Amino acid sequence: MAPVLSVFLGPQTGVPLTILLGLTGSVFLFPHYRTTIQYSVVGTMAVIGLFFILPGVWLLNLIDANTMRRIIAALVFTIAGSMLVFRNFSFEAQSKAVDRIGITIASALGGLIMGATGMGGLPLVTYLAGRTGTAQQKKANILFTVGALEIGTILIMVLANFFNIQTLILSAVLIAPFGFGLWLGEHWFRTKLSHIYQMILIVTLMATGLFVALF
């Protein structure tokens, strides 16, 4: 969502709007997944990620809109490619040291990218999808970690005056269609397509990156 909104609204409006809508989705889904969250893992990831949000927000404020759009497009392609390469790889299965490295890298990138582009969930998905556990546990871990970073990013953006009346009006307008799409996607993937979730996400990311690059 962040790449598309950044094309039409500019990154400094599109990114905060994306994170605000994303947080409403996380809050909506949290009660369904809260009992399956592996807090010992995602708590550490959330704390690490929070430290890297501020540099990300600083970059969003520093870089001009056109350059940030190109960065977002390149980032989407890079992450989609990484997800494709590492879709069957598990840091956890290698060793404790490798797993800690994976946690640190994914968390740091998640915080930095969340603050700069609103897409911090993608590195977290890449790492957490490769951990052992049920599909329900993986989704719960992703939801918690992304939600924590969204909260941290919103607090920093409020202090940095990223939110204005336009952002709030747009969020109010978009919350209903976003909520419906969220419910539909959650129901669809849970009942029919959970086994090919990652590939669908990768294809969607590549198509989105191409859209941003062209426009």
pLDDT of residue 33: 82
pLDDT of residue 191: 52
pLDDT of residue 3: 65
Residues constituting the chain = 215
Residue 24: give the domain boundaries.
2-214
Q: Compute the distance between CA of residue 87 and CA of residue 96 in angstroms, rounded to an integer.
A: 20
- How does DSSP classify residue 193? I
Q: Compute the distance between CA of residue 103 and CA of residue 29 in angstroms, rounded to an integer.
A: 24
Full-model pTM: 0.81
pLDDT of residue 124: 86
Q: Compute the distance between CA of residue 18 and CA of residue 167 in angstroms, rounded to an integer.
A: 10
First-to-last alpha carbon distance for the chain, in angstroms, is 15
Token pair recorded at residue 96: 């404790």
Q: In Å, how far are 2, 103, 128, 179 from 172, measured between CA atoms?
A: 17, 35, 31, 11
Reduced to 3 states (helix: H, G, I; strand: E, B; else coil), residue 115 is helix
- Our count of domains for the chain comes to 1
Mean pLDDT per 10-residue interval, the chain, length 215 residues: 69 86 85 84 91 92 82 78 69 70 89 88 80 78 91 92 85 80 67 59 71 63
pLDDT of residue 63: 85
